Amino acid sequence: MDDPQAHLRRGFNWLGGAAVIVKIIDMATQVAVLLFLGKRQIGIAALVLAISTVVEAFDGMGAREALVQARTVSRAQLDTLFWFITGAALVTGLLVLLAAPWIGSVYGVAGMTVYFIAIAAKQPIVGASLIPLAMMSRDLQYERLAMVSVGATLGAALVRLGLAVAGAGVWALVLGFVASGVFTLIGAQIARPFRPRIRFRMGEIAPLVRFGTRAAAWNFLDQSFNNLHFLLVGWLYGPTELALYRVAYTVAMEPALAVGTLINRTALPVFARASRHPAQLVRSLQWSLHRLAVLVVPLVAASMLAAGPITALIHDRHGHSYAAAAWPLVWLAAAALLRVTAQTIYPVVIGTGHPGVAARLSAIMLLVLGAGLIAAAALVVPARTGLVVVAAVWVTVYPPLLFWESRYLRRHWHIGAGALAQAFLAPSIGALGLIVCAAAADRVIGRGEPGLRLAVILIVAALTYAGLVAHARRRAIVEPIESPSQPTEPDAP
C-alpha cells in the first residue's frame, strides 16, 4: 500500500498551512469585532453559536466519516446520500425553529429567538457541501481542502467584521457563522463539483447510514461536550460573564484545538487505509503525536504566560478591558494540552471501523464534564470566581481518559505508554526553556506595560519553535515502535 507517513506529511503541510492562515484570520477578526460590540452582545452571540454548533453535528448524519472509511462508493450511493442528507438537514432546521422560543425563555434574553431563523437556514447549506468535502478527504486531496477552508474562513471573517463595523451587533457574529457555510459550499463545488441526480435508493446507502448514525452520535456528543460549558455559564452567570469566559476560551483553547483538528483530519483517511496494517498505523499514530506535541506544548506555555497581557489589551466598545478573563485563560490553556492529546484516539477508532467506541467515549466525557460543572455551580461564589472554577474543572476531566486511552492502545495496538510519552520530551524541554526565559525577561523589564510583555513572550515562543524545528531536523527523530509480530488485523475493541 502507499506510504501512510508520506500522506500524513503532505496532508499536514497543506492543511497545516491552511490552518495557520485560517486561525490568524479568525483570531484577528474576532479580536477586532470585540472593539465594536459590548460584552452582553458577545455573550448572547456565544449562546446562539454554541447551540448552533451542537445542532450542526447532525448535518450529514455522519456521512463524511462513512464515506471516508468505505471500501468502495458508487455513484448511486452518492446521489441517494445527497438527498438523504438534504432531507435530514431540512428536518433539523425545522426543529431549530420550533425550539427557538423555548431556548429564548430558558435564558431570559429578549429577542434571542430571531437569530435562530438564520441558523435554521444554514442547515441545508452545510448538508449540500458534505458530499464533495467527503470525497476530497477520501481521495486525500488535501490541497483542495486547504483552499476551501481558507476561502470560507476569509469570506466569513470579512462578513463578520464588516457587519460589526456597520453596527449590526449580535447579527455580525450570527451572520458571519452562517456565511462560513455558504462560502464552504461554494468552495467545495468549485474544488470538487458534484451535481446530484434525481434518484433515491435507500437500500444502496443502508450500510453507510448505519455507520454514519454511530458517527453522528459521536459528533453530537463531542459537540455537546465542546459547548455545554458555554450554555451553563450563560445560564448561571448571564451573557456578560459568558463574554469574559468566551474570550478566555477563544485565546486558550481554540489555537490548540485547531492544531488537534488538523492532525485528526489529516490522520483519519490515512488510519482508515492503514487499518489492516497495524505496524503502519502505529508509525502513523506516533508521527501524529510528535507533530501535535511540537506545535501545542510551546503554544500552551506561551498562552499561560501571556494571559495577563492579552486580556489587559483587549477592550469592548465601551473601553472596558477583559482582564478578568486572565485566570480562566490560564486554566483553560493547561486543559487544552490534555484535551488535544486525548482527542488523538478518535481518528484511530473511527478509521479502524469502530465509531461506537468514539461515541461511548464522548458520552462518558460529556457526563463527567457535566457533573463537574454542576458541582462547580453548586458552590455559592461570586461570578468571577465561578468562571475560574469552571475553567479549572476542565483540567480534572482528562487525566482518567488519557490513562484509559494508553491502556486501550497497549491492549489493541501494542503501543507502550513510554513510546507515546517520548513524543512530548523535546517539546516539554523547549516549553520549560520558554518559561524560564520569559520569567527572566519579566524581572528585567518589569510587569507594567502589557504590550511589551506580550511582545517578549511572542519572541521567546518563536525562538522555541525555531529550536524545536532545528532539533527535529538534526536528529531526524524516529519514534521507537513497540510491536510484536505483525498481525493481519487489529484486535477487536
User: Mapping DSSP to helix (H, G, I), strand (E, B) and coil, where does residue 21 land?
Assistant: helix
Instruction: List, for residues 206-245, the tens digit of each pLDDT value.
Output: 888 888 777 777 778 778 878 888 998 998 889 999 999 9
Residue 78 has pLDDT above 80, yes or no: yes
Decide: 347 and 267 in contact? Cβ < 8 Å.
yes
Q: How far is CA 25 from the centre of its chain?
A: 16
Percent of the residues in the chain that have a pLDDT greater than 90, as a whole number: 34
Rounded (5°) CA angle 411-415-420: 130
CA gap 345, 405 in Å, rounded: 7
CA gap 202, 135 in Å, rounded: 20
pLDDT at 481: 38
Instruction: List, for residues 297-348, the tens digit of each pLDDT value.
Output: 999 999 999 999 999 999 888 888 999 999 999 999 999 999 999 988 888 8
**What residues contact 31, with CB distance under 8 A and at least 6 apart?**
314
The model's pTM is 0.79
Instruction: List, for residues 79-89, the tens digit of each pLDDT value.
Output: 998 998 888 88
Residue 130 has pLDDT above 60, yes or no: yes
pLDDT at 479: 41
Task: Give the long-range contacts of residues 118-121, CB within 8 A, separation 24 or more.
Answer: 118/174, 118/175, 118/178, 119/48, 119/51, 119/52, 119/55, 119/174, 119/177, 119/178, 120/93, 120/94, 120/96, 121/93, 121/178
Of the ranges 37-46, 380-389, 451-460, which one carries the lowest mean pLDDT score?
A: 380-389
Q: In what helix (H) or strand (E) does residue 346 lie, and over which residues does it extend?
A: helix 345-351
